[in-house]
Amino acid sequence: MAEPELLVAPNVIEYPFSRTTGPMIGAFMTALREGFIVGCTAADGRVIVPPVEYDPDTAEALTEVVEVGDAGVVASWSWVREPLDGHPLDRPFAFALITLDGADVPMLHAVDTGGDVAAMATGMRVRARWADEREGSILDIACFEPEGAR
């Protein structure tokens, strides 16, 4: 029996387009680069951080960008005892939902207590520690730390 003939066809995978961050995330990233934080106002008046393009309840397009504080209250948290590669800190820290001053919806970020889990609590106030060099990324906030820690 003869060997079957193999069919071969070239296949190039490419994505010949680019995507922008859009007006809401673009405003958020620009603000981070400049050292402040913005959110957006939802249809019911809630302030959402980071901002979203569409209201999560009504699907209405959102366009109002508002500045919020760079400090807030820990709503919930989870302790990371052994950080992995790619984590924001190289010592024990918390991932926390933080409701920033002026916001109604918490955002997720890291909280640095110097590795001390006893210094972490729901309801504690934290403040952003900004990266030395900012480029318009969520990493422009190096982490949050307990207010008065510096």
22-69 residue pLDDT tens: 999 999 999 999 999 999 999 999 999 999 999 999 999 999 999 999
114-141 residue pLDDT tens: 999 999 999 999 999 999 999 999 999 9
pTM summary value: 0.85
In this structure, is residue 11 part of a structural domain?
no
In this structure, is residue 7 part of a structural domain?
no
In this structure, is residue 76 part of a structural domain?
yes
In this structure, is residue 116 part of a structural domain?
yes
In whole angstroms, how far apart are CA 78 and each of 27, 115, 145, 146? Answer: 29, 13, 15, 15
In this structure, is residue 67 part of a structural domain?
yes
As a whole number, mean pLDDT of residues 2-30 equals: 87
53-111 residue pLDDT tens: 999 999 999 999 999 999 999 999 999 999 999 999 999 999 999 999 999 999 999 99
For the chain, give me the number of helices (H) and strands (E)? Answer: 1, 8
Q: What gap in Å lies between CA 17 and CA 6, rounded to an integer?
A: 34
Residue 67 lies in domain = 22-146
Task: At 26, give phi and psi (nearest 5°).
Answer: -60, -45
In this structure, is residue 100 part of a structural domain?
yes
Q: Give the total number of structural domains in the chain.
A: 1
DSSP one-letter code for 133: S
In this structure, is residue 1 part of a structural domain?
no
